Amino acid sequence: MVRAKSWVLKKHFEGFPKNSDFELKEAELRELKEAEVLFESVFLSVDPYMRPYSERLMKEGDTMIGSQVARVVESKNPTFQVGTYVVANAGWTTHFISDGKDLQQLPPWPEKIPRSLALGTIGMPGLTAYFGLFEICKIRAGDTVLVSAAAGAVGSVVGQIAKIGGCKVVGCAGSDKKVAYLKLIGFDEAFNYKTIGSLEEALRKASPDGYDCYFDNVGGEFSSIVLKQMKRFGRIAVCGAISEYNDTVPQKGPYVHMPMILNQLYMEGFLVSRWKDRYGEALKILLGWVVEGKIKCEEHVTEGFERMPGAFMGMLKGENLGKAIIKV
């Protein structure tokens, strides 16, 4: 008999999540039926989207949503051999039974590449960076690209892909350590938005001519200020709005219409699932770039399933450099 531990949303978040909003539950899993597979979690992911979607997709008592890299420990399904790995949207749980549907088997995985990257650069965050840049920002060589939350799971890949694409890349992040990391992985300019005196000036200094593209992970006041430094026909990929997720009362800022008209700006919100039918193609490219060393990957690993809520809250506070991962 296998006992599965799961983190449950005990109470809907009000403002910033608290420890008491989560509850750890344990349950005995039943025997496998024909065609079923038993998985155990190896790596779990905490991502910003879990905060806004907790209200939309979950009710109190539900297991927290999320994906993980899991290993087959028992199988009555010939497609899934014991010892093989999948990415599963199984939520925050250590073990689960699946009929094999809606699982993504990991492709042949080079030994030197950690499998946890299937939750990061060679997974959803990497795909988000890839499609956001090519399909929304429509980057061209020579463009100046700004990335917010640039040291995060998505942002760090955005910057490196934009460099591969021949762009000048400016990133901002919330600590000097992160800024140093951004320079290390090839960002042309980077600054700590918490310590600069004026965001307007820091943006202008990093690119006096303005920005062709803005990959927006933060929303809020930051993005209002960026809007005024976009070049004519600038493109904004609205990927995330982490500065707004924990608001109990929606924040307000200046209306976007005047700068949008005067500089003929284009802005589009997106969810990566839009390009689901192209994941295979893109993952192959991303894996290739990682293997060749063109994209460097940093992970912020928290050990222990019990510490998952803390890892989630830490990620929302920006404590992670690179992808936040839980190692079971």
Footprint of a copy of itself (CB under 8 A): 52, 56, 216, 219-220, 223-224, 238-241, 244, 250-271, 274
Q: Is there a contact between 295 and 289 (Cβ–Cβ < 8 Å)?
A: yes
The distance of closest approach from Cβ of residue 100 to a copy of itself in the complex, given in angstroms and rounded to an integer, is 29
Tell the residue number behind the tokens 């062709």, with chain if given: 212
The distance of closest approach from Cβ of residue 126 to a copy of itself in the complex, given in angstroms and rounded to an integer, is 18
The distance of closest approach from Cβ of residue 234 to a copy of itself in the complex, given in angstroms and rounded to an integer, is 10
Say what angle helices 155-164 and 279-291 make with each other, to 10 degrees: 80
**Residue 65 phi, psi (nearest 5):** -75, 155
The distance of closest approach from Cβ of residue 220 to a copy of itself in the complex, given in angstroms and rounded to an integer, is 6
Q: Is there a contact between 279 and 124 (Cβ–Cβ < 8 Å)?
A: no
CB nearer to a copy of itself: give 58 or 256: 256
Question: How is residue 305 written in tokens?
Answer: 């399933």
Please choose, from the candidates 204, 205, 198, 237, the residue with its C-alpha nearest in 3D space to the C-alpha of residue 221.
Answer: 198
The b/e string for 235-273 (b: 16+ C-beta within 10 A; e otherwise) is: bbbbbbbbbbbeeeeeeeeeeeeebbeebebbbeeeebe
CB nearer to a copy of itself: give 99 or 200: 200
Tell the residue number behind the tokens 């960076």, with chain if given: 129
CB nearer to a copy of itself: give 33 or 252: 252
Please choose, from the candidates 234, 228, 235, 229, the residue with its C-alpha nearest in 3D space to the C-alpha of residue 256.
Answer: 228
CB nearer to a copy of itself: give 192 or 263: 263
The distance of closest approach from Cβ of residue 264 to a copy of itself in the complex, given in angstroms and rounded to an integer, is 5
CB nearer to a copy of itself: give 188 or 212: 212
The distance of closest approach from Cβ of residue 194 to a copy of itself in the complex, given in angstroms and rounded to an integer, is 20
CB nearer to a copy of itself: give 50 or 321: 50
Tell the residue number behind the tokens 């420990």, with chain if given: 73
CB nearer to a copy of itself: give 52 or 210: 52
The distance of closest approach from Cβ of residue 40 to a copy of itself in the complex, given in angstroms and rounded to an integer, is 33
DSSP single-letter state for residue 164: H
